Amino acid sequence: MARGPGGQEDEVREICMQTITPLCDETWVDAAGNVIGLIKSQRETPERRRSVRVMAHMDEIAMVVKSVNEDGTLRVTALGGANPVNFGMCPVDILGDNEIIPGVLSFGSMHATQNAPQGGDVLSGNVHWNDVHVVTRSSLQILRSHGVRPGTRVVLSRHWRKPFRVGDAVAAHFLDDRAPMAAVIDSARQVSHRRNELTCDVYFVFTTSEEESNAGAMFASATLPGDTTIAVEVGPVMDEYGTRLSIDPIINTGDEKGYYTRGVVKSLAAAAARCGYTPQYALLVDFASDASAVLSNGSSAKAGCLAIPTENTHGYELILDGAIQACSLTLTEYLATYVERMTW
pLDDT digits (tens, 9 = 90+) for 103-133: 999 998 766 656 666 666 666 678 899 999 9
Q: How many angstroms separate the Cα of 192 from the Cα of each of 83, 195, 196, 268, 324? A: 40, 6, 9, 20, 18
Per CATH, the number for 10-60+174-336 is 3.40.630.10
Q: Mean pLDDT across the stretch 224-249?
A: 97
d(CA 28, CA 123) in angstroms, rounded, equals 50
d(CA 257, CA 239) in angstroms, rounded, equals 21
**Sign of the torsion formed by the C-alpha atoms of 152, 17, 340 and 236:** negative
pTM passes above 0.75: yes
Comparing 32-46, 66-80, 257-271, 307-321, the range with the smallest average pLDDT is 32-46
Residue 23 has pLDDT above 80, yes or no: yes
Q: Which residues contact 269 (CB under 8 A, 6 or more apart)?
A: 251, 279, 281
pLDDT digits (tens, 9 = 90+) for 290-328: 999 999 999 999 999 999 999 999 999 999 999 999 999
d(CA 103, CA 93) in angstroms, rounded, equals 6
d(CA 24, CA 54) in angstroms, rounded, equals 13
What is the identity of the amino acid at 124?
S
pLDDT digits (tens, 9 = 90+) for 127-160: 899 999 999 999 999 999 999 999 999 999 998 9
pLDDT score for 341: 54
CATH 3.40.630.10 domain locations along the chain: 10-60+174-336
CATH 2.40.30.40 domain locations along the chain: 62-159
Report cis status (omega within 30 of 0) of the bond before 248.
Answer: no
Contact status, residue 221 vs residue 34, Cβ threshold 8 Å: no
Q: What is the mean pLDDT of the chain?
A: 93
DSSP 288-302: --HHHHHHHTTS-SE
Domain 62-159 has CATH 3.20.20.10: no
